């Protein structure tokens, strides 16, 4: 894999949080490590002027790389959604336990009931 030259125009691909893959043309502005210690390239899209941080593999990708990226990013999305669902379910269970303790100590929460509509005579 050839590293991009800062200031060089490149073809790129990037993934959104929802797993969509976008391709475009941009100018390489920076090369850096992400929090996972993987190489990233900061680019500016030549059409929109938007700034994106893309994985190094997304610079001048081949068709095979694009296909592999789409498959893996789809799997990452599925695993993330499964994990987020489990986190939500777990948090709900523990929130119920905390609420039960507060109710034991403070009593039941006040229940506000909307008054009945009074019909005009």
Residue 110 included in any domain: no
Per-residue pLDDT of the chain (121 residues; tens, 9 = 90+): 688 999 999 999 999 878 889 999 999 999 999 999 999 999 999 999 999 999 999 999 999 999 999 999 999 999 999 999 999 999 999 999 999 999 999 998 888 777 777 777 6
In a domain, 3, yes or no: no
Residue 48 lies in a domain: yes
Kindly write down the DSSP assignment for every residue of the chain, as one continuous string.
-PPPPTT-EEEEEEE-TTS-EEEEEEEEEEEEE-TTS-EEEEEEETTT--EEEEEGGGBS--HHHHHHHHHHHHHHHHHHHHHHHHHHHHHHHHHHHHHHHHHHHH-SPP---PPPPPPP-
Any domain includes 52: yes
Number of domains in the chain: 1
| 84 in any annotated domain | no
Q: In which domain, by residue range, is 24 found?
A: 9-76
2 belongs to a structural domain? no
């Amino acid at each position: 894999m050839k590293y991009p030259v800062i200031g060089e125009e490149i073809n790129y691909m990037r993934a959104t949080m929802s797993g969509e893959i976008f391709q475009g043309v941009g100018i390489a502005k920076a090369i850096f490590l992400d929090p996972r210690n993987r190489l990233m390239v900061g680019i500016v899209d030549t059409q929109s002027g938007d700034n994106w941080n893309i994985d190094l593999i997304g610079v001048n990708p081949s068709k095979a790389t694009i296909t592999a990226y789409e498959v893996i990013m789809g799997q990452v999305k599925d695993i993330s959604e499964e994990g987020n669902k489990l986190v939500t379910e777990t948090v709900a269970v523990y929130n119920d336990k905390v609420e039960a303790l507060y109710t034991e100590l403070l009593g039941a929460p006040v229940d506000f009931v909307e008054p009945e509509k009074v019909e005009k005579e």
